[in-house]
Amino acid sequence: MKHRVTWSLSLPALGVALTLFLPTLLPAQPLPGGTLDPTTIPKFVTPLVIPPQMPKSPAASPLNTAPQPAADYNIAVRQFQQQILPAGFGATTVWSYGLAEDAVPALAPAPNSTFNYPAFTVENTSGVPTRVRWINDLVDAGGNYLPHLFPIDQTLHWANPPATGCLDGSNRTDCRTLNPANYTGPVPMVTHVHGAHVNAESDGYPEAWWLPAAGNIPAGYARTGTLFDQYDINNTVPGSAFFAYENDQPAATIWYHDHSLGITRVNVYAGPAGFWLIRGGANGDAAIDNVATATANDGVLPGPAPTLAGGDPNFNAGVRAAIREIPVVIQDRSFNADGALFYPDNRAFFEGLNVPLLPPQIPGAGTLDIPFIPNSDIAPIWNPEFFANTMVVNGNTWPQLEVAPALYRLRLLNGCNSRTLNLSLFQMAGDVQVAERPFFQIGGDQGFLPAVVLLQTGISLPLPGDGTLPVLPAPAPGAMQALLMGPAERADVLVDFSGLPDGTVVRILNTAPDAPFGGFPDVPADPGTTGQVMQFVVNSALTQPTDAAATPPQNLVLPAEPAVGPAVATRQLTLNEEVSGQLCVQQLPDGSITTLFNTPNDPNFLANCTAAGGVPMAPRAALLGVLGTDPVSGAPVSIPKLWMNVITENPVIGDTEEWEIFNLTMDAHPIHLHLVRFQVINRQAFDPVTFAPIPGTITPPEANEEGYKDTALNYPGQITRIRAHFDRAGLYVWHCHILEHEDNEMMRPYLVRYDPAFPDLNGDNTVDRADLALLLAQIRSPQPVKLAFDLNLDQKVDLLDARILVGKLGLTR
């Protein structure tokens, strides 16, 4: 049985809002997906995989032999089989990272290979650089490239290795095409360490991708993207790029994944992602206090985490019993009956219809009488969001972890493509919830919070840090929010199992919707499938002598960091949904969609569509934009921007800026800025016509958003204000981390540039001939243009910029 939900699609520039009705399944039924019914998959029968630490590559590795630069890690992406579903189900073909010096296992997880989904954890020390040679090794045993596991829509602005057929008539990479066919060629890859404060060459810019070193790449294919670059250009290992990470940031839970232009959603869905933990430094674990003692910095978090010395906790029971810190990535996936991952191969999936293309119609099925590109402006394969029907944690469906009656540290990551998670902990009796237990959140995206925050459904309570647990307030009637995490957000939490008798079951539940999230209240996830995540079972035989050393959450005093400081500039930005400009559709009583008319280049399209009783087909894309002024009326107006448009966000190096992000859509978008960490200042409702903030509606950040972040939810109808310090010159991106949105225009480049009024390019507080030499070297360089040196903002680095710098010679601070 189906019910209808309303999608409101705003067109602020036109002063109108459009509504399109799309069918979705009631939560009592599992979401549609592949041919494997998720209700037939046994839950809590597979032990949770604990991601081991990634070992370093041997110094004597052939990949590190001169003249190649030496890397700490040679990490490759390869294809292999993994047992994600419980035993008795088919294995799943995945991609993931592992040491290039290792062979892929016959079946992962395996004790003799570092290749696993999710990838092993890369451990780092704050202030100590890490050098990685990332290798795209998506080739078969014969050295021929492997095609993608999932369909690639070439009508999006994507990597386009064939370098032909661009929409603007050119033949190049990194463009849109009118080719509706699924791409089956070699797959581009470029790794991004999400949350890293890193040089631009190593950030994983979406146009910096490269292909595998395959023997059968067709003639004419580009091997690299438009802006392929390396930290060390002496690296010439085929199919690779050499990146380096300064790790000059406080201890944090960050992660790595692919970031190729226009195909991130399918690349990440195939598996390549892992944790990148930064430890130590002035704000690391050793800086935590315990209020119960008079000794400084003696707070103790649960440990140990997996280490190389301890061995693989998944194949050594003694090591596993001692682990108390566990990285946990939660993802939703759908499967076919043979164990293969399912991802939709046509736009009809999003509409909930069974007919993938044009009539003839199938009796009893929904009708999708909709033309796609090149016959309209609607992409044929891309789906605006995808909500899978099975929960996968650390590479297994609905796993279980035996735990001691002790304190555990979980580093949680929402690794879903589109799904927001709202996590709670419940003690269970069978499938009956007996009592809710709290998460104690100690850290977010970019390190520790100012104070421990107790989280339960309807309760978000900072602890006083004086050794006491306050009496919990009664949650508001109907309150739903617990530990809320948008895609890519992280939460460093403590879970206390102490005092629970053997056999006690505690389960992580999810009550965010099986649909786009726009804030609470909302319909919770299907309680029989996606509403359950994993479970813990208490076993006192796992108790360790070190368990008593962990500091209780109420005694922890976390290392505070200063606020980001005042902003010198404010930018007003917008989040937008784009509708078709030519395809007018109507929903029929049976829930199907039919085309009323398809008229390209019609200046009266919207009025004609409305008069016909239809709405523009939507969403066509999601876009970032700027808040500008209508040239005729002078009124504020949203100006949506495409990936290819001129860069509009260009802070000067060293500046602190406040970004006011106006959300004109019905989705809560998790917005991520590369390079910088930021603080959420507040949120405020605004008038969608005038864009004026509504007095009395300012809300402070949630208690567990008080620390530094790199990804934050931006709610519909609200201005989300964030503040960041831009301290490293280079070209980066900001985007929505709903990967389907990111891949279809909801990503924009931004440029941290040198100050044309004081072009100190080498940071010595003087503008002199040394700076001029750097600029001239950039002008002459065969490498991709470093737009940070663009002093006159004409998107080029040339002698006009040198002229500006010459005029400033001799300046000192």
530-555 residue pLDDT tens:
999 999 999 999 999 999 999 999 99
Residues 6+ apart with CB under 8 A from 734: 624, 649, 671, 672, 673, 674, 747, 748, 750
What pLDDT score does 354 carry? 53
d(CA 466, CA 494): 17
What pLDDT score does 9 carry? 41
> Residue 596 in contact with residue 551, Cβ under 8 Å?
no
458-473 pLDDT, tens digit per residue, is 999 999 999 999 999 9
d(CA 567, CA 588): 51
Task: Return the CA Rg of the chain.
Answer: 26
Hey, what are 702's tokens?
């949630």
> Residue 533 in contact with residue 34, Cβ under 8 Å?
no
What pLDDT score does 7 carry? 39
CATH T-level assignment (fold) for domain 71-281: Immunoglobulin-like (2.60.40)
> Residue 378 in contact with residue 457, Cβ under 8 Å?
no
Q: Residue 429 to residues 165, 433, 498, 499, 503: CA-CA distances in angstroms?
A: 60, 6, 18, 17, 10
Domain locations in the chain as residue ranges: 71-281, 390-557, 569-579+618-752, 754-813
Q: Residue 10 to residues 267, 379, 644, 654, 716: CA-CA distances in angstroms?
A: 30, 20, 22, 36, 11
Tokens 């957000």 belong to residue: 489
What pLDDT score does 288 carry? 98
CATH T-level assignment (fold) for domain 390-557: Immunoglobulin-like (2.60.40)
Q: Hey, what amino acid is at 676?
A: V
> Residue 118 in contact with residue 96, Cβ under 8 Å?
yes
Q: Kindly give the pairing relationship between strand 407-414 and strand 325-335.
A: parallel
Hey, what are 73's tokens?
């890690």
> Residue 404 in contact with residue 497, Cβ under 8 Å?
yes
d(CA 605, CA 212): 45
Of 178, 185, 188, 189, residue with least CA distance to 154: 178
712-748 pLDDT, tens digit per residue, is 999 999 999 999 999 999 999 999 999 999 999 999 9
CATH T-level assignment (fold) for domain 754-813: Type 1 dockerin domain (1.10.1330)
4-43 pLDDT, tens digit per residue, is 233 334 343 333 333 343 434 444 578 999 999 999 999 9
d(CA 300, CA 313): 22
Question: The whole model's pTM is what?
Answer: 0.95
d(CA 455, CA 702): 11
Q: Give the number of other CB atoms < 10 A from CB of residue 278.
A: 29
d(CA 720, CA 661): 5
Of 606, 644, 653, 605, residue with least CA distance to 624: 644
Intrachain domains 71-281 and 390-557 with the same fold: yes
Query: In terms of residues, how long is the chain?
Result: 813
What pLDDT score does 348 carry? 84
Of 264, 311, 216, 271, residue with least CA distance to 79: 271
d(CA 207, CA 188): 10
Residues 6+ apart with CB under 8 A from 317: none
Question: For the chain, which residues score pLDDT lower than 70?
Answer: 1-28, 353-369
Of 63, 392, 114, 96, residue with least CA distance to 239: 63
Reading phi first (left if > 0) and then psi (alpha if -120 to 50, else beta), residue 586 is in: beta
Of 268, 12, 286, 6, residue with least CA distance to 125: 286
Of 785, 620, 670, residue with least CA distance to 157: 620
Which CATH number does 569-579+618-752 carry? 2.60.40.420
Positions of E strands within 83-188: 92-99, 119-125, 130-136
Q: Looking at the DSSP assignment, which residues form a beta bridge with residue 748?
A: 734
> Residue 649 in contact with residue 611, Cβ under 8 Å?
no
Distance of CA 324 to the CA centre of its chain: 26
What pLDDT score does 445 carry? 98
> Residue 249 in contact with residue 124, Cβ under 8 Å?
no
d(CA 198, CA 196): 5
> Residue 674 in contact with residue 747, Cβ under 8 Å?
no
Hey, what are 766's tokens?
């003087």
What pLDDT score does 362 carry? 37
Residues 6+ apart with CB under 8 A from 611: none
d(CA 50, CA 48): 6
> Residue 174 in contact with residue 207, Cβ under 8 Å?
yes
| Per-residue 3-state assignment (H helix, E strand, C coil) for 137-163 | CCECCCCCECCCCCCCECCCCECCCCC
